């Protein structure tokens, strides 16, 4: 079964799905097995791997080991085309539709599309929107683009409708890693009302109760990253999974 269909099934069966984002820079090769086992045993539905920057060595080896030890899908959340590897089960094929930077909307995708096709990699086209979140996030800085104002859900809605019309499979409402404020429930529910494609929500979600509220507002998949890097414990991950799943 295609990974996208698996994700749809998870959403149907559990109400909403839970993704954990891991940044390859945040752990050592020696810790991969333990880290992946913890994630897979805590009710997480898929592992997203990626980061705007890769600073430390060992990326290739880490991805190979994550694939070896993971019993759930591993999906690339790409910061750049150089992060593509055959070990991924699928790639979130992102287009930064909230920007007006053509390189990030279509340029990078044109460079990576033939590589992905040659690998026969599953691509999940995802309309990626940065939402203003109280501080300048890495994604905002690196993309040199203006996020959608947090108090203008109608702008996010218009982008999401355009994304659906353009044939994207998913929409990602991104407050940015380590955001002070996650995407508001109001914005999520307004986007949900206007489009039928699944909505991923991430950035600054640090409490299971917050994740639950995002799922109730209409998020189909919730992503947490930072909070688990800080507190990396299975208990917290299980709490997130329980709060997100119905
Ligand atoms: C970032 O949405 C993800 O791309 C996760 O954000 O690290 O703040 O959980 P956090």
- Tell me the pLDDT tens digit for each residue of 36-85: 999 999 999 999 999 777 777 899 999 999 999 999 999 999 988 899 99
Give the residue-averaged pLDDT of 12-17.
98
Atom of ligand 1 nearest to the CA of 229: 7
Q: Look at residues 101, 105, 99, 161 and name the one whose alpha carbon lies nearest to residue 131.
A: 99
Ligand 1 pocket, residue 182 CB under 6 Å: no
Atom of ligand 1 nearest to the CA of 205: 9
pLDDT at 153: 98
User: Within 13 A of 118's CA, how many CA atoms are on the CB side?
Assistant: 7
pTM for the model: 0.97
How many whole angstroms from 47 Cα to the centroid of ligand 1? 13
pLDDT at 112: 96
Ligand 1 pocket, residue 178 CB under 6 Å: yes
* 170-174 and 123-130 strand pairing: parallel
Pocket test for ligand 1, best of 17, 98, 175, 211 (most atoms within 8 A of CB): 175
Atom of ligand 1 nearest to the CA of 202: 2
How many whole angstroms from 217 Cα to the centroid of ligand 1? 18
* Cα 39–Cα 40–Cα 44 angle in degrees, nearest 5: 75
Ligand 1 pocket, residue 177 CB under 6 Å: yes
Ligand 1 pocket, residue 229 CB under 6 Å: no
- Residue scoring higher pLDDT (139 or 198): 198
Arithmetic mean of pLDDT over the chain:
95
For residue 95, what is the enclosing H or E element? Answer: strand 90-96
Atom of ligand 1 nearest to the CA of 224: 9
Torsion of CA 151, 155, 159, 164, to 10 degrees: 90
Q: Look at residues 165, 191, 187 and name the one whose alpha carbon lies nearest to residue 175.
A: 187
pLDDT at 232: 63
How many whole angstroms from 88 Cα to the centroid of ligand 1? 20
| Residue ranges per structural domain of the chain | 3-244
**Residue with CA at minimum distance from ligand 1 atom 4:** 177
Ligand 1 pocket, residue 42 CB under 6 Å: no
pLDDT bracket for residue 230 (50, 70, 90): confident
pLDDT bracket for residue 163 (50, 70, 90): very high
Superfamily name and number for 3-244: FMN-linked oxidoreductases (3.20.20.390)
**Three-state DSSP class for residue 202:** strand
Ligand 1 pocket, residue 140 CB under 6 Å: no
pLDDT at 201: 98
Residue 16 predicted with pLDDT over 80 = yes
Ligand 1 pocket, residue 174 CB under 6 Å: yes
How many whole angstroms from 50 Cα to the centroid of ligand 1? 11
Ligand 1 pocket, residue 218 CB under 6 Å: no
Pick the range with the lowest mean pLDDT from 62-71, 100-109, 138-147: 138-147
pLDDT at 52: 73
């Amino acid at each position: 079964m295609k990974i996208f269909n698996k994700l749809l099934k998870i959403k149907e069966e559990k109400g909403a799905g839970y993704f954990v984002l891991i940044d390859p820079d945040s752990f050592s090769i020696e810790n991969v097995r333990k880290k992946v086992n913890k994630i897979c045993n805590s009710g997480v539905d898929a592992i997203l791997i990626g980061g705007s920057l890769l600073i430390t060595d060992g990326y290739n080896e880490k991805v190979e080991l994550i694939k070896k030890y993971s019993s759930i899908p591993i999906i690339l959340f790409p910061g750049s085309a150089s992060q593509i590897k055959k070990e991924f089960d699928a790639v979130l094929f992102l287009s930064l539709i909230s920007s007006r930077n053509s390189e990030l909307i279509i340029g990078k995708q044109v460079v990576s599309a033939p590589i992905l096709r040659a690998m026969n990699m599953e691509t999940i086209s995802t309309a990626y929107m940065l939402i203003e979140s109280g501080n300048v996030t890495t994604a905002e800085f690196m993309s040199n683009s203006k996020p959608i104002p947090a108090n203008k859900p109608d702008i996010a809605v218009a982008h999401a409708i355009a994304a659906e019309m353009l044939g994207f499979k998913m929409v990602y409402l991104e407050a940015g890693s380590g955001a002070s404020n996650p995407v508001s429930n109001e914005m999520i529910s307004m986007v949900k009302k206007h489009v039928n494609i699944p909505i991923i929500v991430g950035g600054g979600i640090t409490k299971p109760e917050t994740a639950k509220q995002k799922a109730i507002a209409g998020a189909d998949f919730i992503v947490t990253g930072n909070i688990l890097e800080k507190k990396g414990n299975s208990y917290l991950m299980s709490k997130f999974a329980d709060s997100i799943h119905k």
